[in-house]
Amino acid sequence: MQVFLAANSAFKGISDMAKYEKARQLKNHIGKVRRDYTKGMEQGKPVEQQQHSVAVYLIDKLALRAGNEKDTDEEADTVGCCSLRVEHVIDDAGENMLHLKFLGKDSIEYNNTTAIEPRVYTLIKQFCRNKKPEEQVFDHVDPSALNEYFKTIMDGLSAKVFRTYNASFTLDAELQKTDAEVTEQKKAKEGAVNAYFNYYNIANKNVAELCNHQRATPASHGAMMEKFDAKIDKVREELADAKKAKNANKVEAKQKQLEKMTAERVVKDETKNVSLGTSKINYNDPRITVAWCKRHDVPIHKPFPKTLLAKFSWAMAVEPEFKF
C-alpha cells in the first residue's frame, strides 16, 4: 500500500525546503560544471567526452530532462536529452540556432528554437552527420555515467536539480529587474499592485517557457479576448465622453481603468499557451515569491492561491532581502 503525504503536511514542507535548498546549493558548483563542459567540448577531445559535455550543456542551458526516466505511458515515444535522435534535431533555424522537436515527459511536445554556443552548434552537426534519422545523437553517452558525474560535483545532483535551479534562478533574476520594469508611470496608470502582479506573471511565463510547461491554447481564449476587447472599447467610449464633458476626475479614473485593463489583456494573451502553475508548484523556490511580495507590498494571495499558501507555509517567514 502506498501512502501519499498531504501537500501541506509538515513532512512534505521539510521535503520541499530540502529540494529547493539543494537547488540553491548548486549555485556554488555551477561554475565548475560549466568549466568542465566547456573544456570537454574543445577540438581534439575524444568524441565520448565531447558528447558528454554537450549533453550537460543542454541539460544546463535548456533545462532538458536527462531522458532516462520511465514514462507512465509505456507506448509513448518520449525522450529527453540523452535519448535524442537525429530526427529530433530540425535543421531549419540557421547558424548557431538549435531547433529541437520531440515528445517529452507526460507526452508534452518540446518544440523550441534556441540560440546556442557556436562550438555546441558545430558539435551537434558533427554528432548527427552520416546518421539515419532514427539513430541517437548522443550514441556515446551513458545516462548512468552522466548521473555518476553529477554526483562527483555535488551530493544528490541530478538533471532535475538543474531544472529547479535554473527555474528559480531565472525567476529571481527576472524579479530583480522589477524596479526598472515597473516604473512609476506604470504604477500610476495600472495601480501599484496590478502593475507588479502583471510583471510577476510575465516573469513566471519566462520560467514556464524555459521548462517547456506548455499547454494548448484554451478553446475559450478567443471568446474571452473578444469580451475583453468589448469591455476595453466601452471604457474608451466612456473616457471620450468624460473628455467631452470636461469631467477631469472621471477622465483620470477612466484613463487608469483603461491602462489596467489593457495591461491585463496583454498578460492573458501572452500566457495563453503556457502553464504558469507547474513552475510555481514544482520548480520555483517559493521564498523568491514571498520575499518579492514583501519588498513590493504585493498581497501574497495574488500569486499564491489557498492551496499554495498551505503547501508553502514553511516559506512565509522568509526575509524580504532573500535572494536565491
* Mean pLDDT confidence for 211-227: 81
**Which contacts of 153-156 are long-range, i.e. CB under 8 A and separated by 24 or more positions?**
153/29, 153/32, 153/33, 154/25, 154/26, 154/29, 156/22
Known catalytic residues are 283
Chain-centre distance for alpha carbon 72: 23
Q: What is the pLDDT of residues 4-45, one digit of tens each?
A: 455 555 556 688 999 999 999 999 999 999 999 999 999 999
pLDDT of 278 > 70? The answer is yes
In the chain, the amino acid numbered 159 is A
Give the span between the Cα atoms of 94 and 98, in whole angstroms.
8
Q: What is the pLDDT of residues 67-93, one digit of tens each?
A: 765 544 555 678 899 999 999 999 888
CATH of 167-315 among 3.40.50.2000, 3.20.20.140, 1.10.132.10, 1.10.3720.10: 1.10.132.10
DSSP-assigned beta bridge partners for residue 109: 103
With beta carbons less than 8 A apart as the criterion, state whether 199 and 159 touch. Answer: no
CATH 1.10.132.10 residue ranges of the chain are 167-315
| Lookup result for grid cell 499592485 | 193
pLDDT of 290 > 90? The answer is yes
Q: What is the pLDDT of residue 9?
A: 55
| Lookup result for grid cell 481603468 | 257
pLDDT of 201 > 60? The answer is yes
pTM higher than 0.85: no
Helix (H), strand (E), coil (C) string for 171-211: HHHHHHCHHHHCCHHHHHHHCHHHHHHHHHHHHHHHHHHHC
CATH 3.90.15.10 fits 30-153, yes or no: yes
